[in-house]
Amino acid sequence: MHKVGIVGWRGMVGSVLMERMLSENDFSKVKTYLFSTSLKGENAPKYDNCHEYILDSDSIEHLRTMDIILTCQGGDYTKDIHPKLRQSGWEGIWIDAASALRMNEDAVIVLDPINGKHIEKSLDAGIKDFIGGNCTVSLMLMGLGKLFEEDLVEWMTSMTYQAASGAGAKNMIELLEQMKFFGDAYLSQRQSNSAANALEFEKNMTENFSHPKFPKECFGHPLALSLLPWIDIKMPNEQSKEEWKAQVEANKILQNKEIVPIDGTCVRVASLRCHSQAFTLKLKKSVSIERVESLINESNSWTEVIANDKEETLQKLTPAYVTGTMKIPVGRIRKMTLGDQYLNAFSVGDQLLWGAAEPLRRVLLMALKQ
Ligand code: HSE
């Protein structure tokens, strides 16, 4: 049985990964070792075949006895530990949720419904680093990958609506605290002035944006009752890093020799979980909506074409419908008034599942077959 070390299993992506591994009975297929710096030496949870004690995630000596290491610990951990492990001569398989190694030439970005064959070939060829893609990139390709595979896309824009949890657990809690702050202010205003009208409430809420006690340590700004059109650092070309990832990662996953331009604006919105995206695609030729819909429907078992109908859209093309599931609904599919080759679409996906944990557990299963 392969020895699999898991690091970062208590964080948000790690917890979702553990839930998925439990529900898919993955622990019965491997000998699991859980690693943590703060819990080293303590009893491990009683999963099937799980080593009794938690090991130290900084111990190269212990890590290098693993056949496979799967980490959701974050980029700083990867940058610190991965080179030390490789320098120690470790030749195991490294599976990682963080972006640190993604664009390395000898690393594969994993999203097996799209590049499963490439992953298999890479495993056969002795590639050792398999990295999960950026969440919005993976979710976009789960929904629209088939259009790229059929070489139908000249260029694409993706305007994103990314959930607070994408910024981390603390940020998601901060959004709830911001909502509570507004909720409390609203209730107290309603109590003191039951005749207040909508604009009076709005004025009070707006004033609360700059209240000295308004909770904004993590985001730095109000997200509740607002939005934040910047995610991650600025790149030299004026994109944010989140926006930069779309083109480089999507083209790498698709193994495109000719780069398909992809660009857009990434926006943080006040949903808790799920990243949504509005797409404009310039197609290389005229393609009927029926053909587009059937390509999307047949891409994989998780995509679901949502009819361009108000009720169905509002019911199914939302974080409320998708959160906690593997569903990838794609809707608002229509030709734009810009011209016959301009296609509009919208999709939603759970960024902790298909956008992070799921591709990792699936590449783990593929690696076990080696
Ligand atoms: N970069 C993503 C975000 C994380 O900030 O939302 C993946 O969810």
- Could you tell me if the CB of 242 is within 6 A of ligand 1? yes
State the catalytic residue, choosing from 50, 82, 118, 135. Answer: 135
Taking the C-alpha atoms of residue 251 and residue 231, their distance in angstroms, rounded to an integer, is 21
What's the pLDDT at 238? Answer: 98
- Could you tell me if the CB of 135 is within 6 A of ligand 1? yes
- Could you tell me if the CB of 306 is within 6 A of ligand 1? no
What's the pLDDT at 370? Answer: 79
- Could you tell me if the CB of 355 is within 6 A of ligand 1? yes
Q: For residue 277, what are the β-bridge partners?
A: 160, 347
Indicate where the chain has its CATH 3.40.50.720 domain(s): 3-132+356-369
Q: Does residue 275 have an active-site annotation?
A: yes
> CATH says 3-132+356-369 is which class?
alpha beta
Structure tokens that stand for 251 in this block: 């083209």
What's the pLDDT at 54? Answer: 98
The series of mean pLDDT values per 10 residues for the chain, 370 residues long, is 97 97 97 97 94 97 98 98 98 98 97 98 98 98 98 98 97 98 97 94 97 98 98 98 98 98 98 98 98 96 98 98 98 98 98 98 95
Which residue, among 277, 253, 249, 271, has the nearest Cα to 319 in the 3D structure? 271
Taking the C-alpha atoms of residue 163 and residue 346, their distance in angstroms, rounded to an integer, is 15
State the catalytic residue, choosing from 50, 72, 118, 275. Answer: 275
Classified as helix, coil or strand, 95 is strand
- Could you tell me if the CB of 172 is within 6 A of ligand 1? no
CATH 2.102.10.10 fits 137-163+230-264+271-355, yes or no: no
Contact by Cβ (8 Å): 140, 250: yes
Which residue, among 150, 249, 164, 286, has the nearest Cα to 215 in the 3D structure? 164
Instruction: Return the residue whose CA atom lies nearest to atom 4 of ligand 1.
Output: 166
pLDDT single digits (tens) 106-157: 999 999 999 999 999 999 999 999 999 999 999 999 999 999 999 999 999 9
Structure tokens that stand for 17 in this block: 């990964």
Segments in the chain forming alpha helices (H):
12-23, 60-63, 75-87, 112-124, 135-149, 169-192, 198-208, 241-254, 289-297, 310-316, 319-322, 358-368
Report how far ligand 1's centroid is from the alpha carbon of 352 (Å): 9
- Could you tell me if the CB of 145 is within 6 A of ligand 1? no
**Sheet hosting strand 31-35, strand order edge to edge:** 31-35, 3-7, 68-71, 93-96, 129-132, 107-110
pLDDT single digits (tens) 75-103: 999 999 999 999 999 999 999 999 999 99
Contact by Cβ (8 Å): 354, 330: no
Report how far ligand 1's centroid is from the alpha carbon of 129 (Å): 21
Which residue, among 355, 362, 352, 370, has the nearest Cα to 116 in the 3D structure? 362
What's the pLDDT at 283? Answer: 98
Contact by Cβ (8 Å): 15, 9: yes
| Pocket residue to mutate for ligand 1, from 138, 175, 219, 231, most atoms within 8 A of Cβ | 231
Which residue, among 302, 292, 309, 346, has the nearest Cα to 328 in the 3D structure? 302
- Could you tell me if the CB of 158 is within 6 A of ligand 1? no
DSSP structure class, residue 258: S
What's the pLDDT at 301? Answer: 96
What's the pLDDT at 256? Answer: 97
Taking the C-alpha atoms of residue 72 and residue 65, their distance in angstroms, rounded to an integer, is 19
Indicate where the chain has its CATH 3.30.360.10 domain(s): 137-163+230-264+271-355
Instruction: Return the residue whose CA atom lies nearest to atom 6 of ligand 1.
Output: 166
Q: For residue 3, what are the β-bridge partners?
A: 31
Q: How far is CA 57 from CA 27, 32, 33, 65, 82, in A?
A: 19, 14, 10, 12, 12
Matching residue, tokens 């998708």 = 322
**pTM, 2 dp:** 0.96
Which residue, among 305, 311, 231, has the nearest Cα to 268 in the 3D structure? 231
Q: What does the chain come to in residues?
A: 370
Q: Does residue 266 have an active-site annotation?
A: no
Q: What's the first-to-final CA gap in the chain, in angstroms? A: 12
Report how far ligand 1's centroid is from the alpha carbon of 112 (Å): 20
Which residue, among 32, 254, 12, 4, has the nearest Cα to 146 in the 3D structure? 254
- Could you tell me if the CB of 98 is within 6 A of ligand 1? no
- Exposed e or buried b for every residue in 84-98, given b needs 16+ CB within 10 A? ebeeeebebbbbbbb
Report how far ligand 1's centroid is from the alpha carbon of 271 (Å): 13
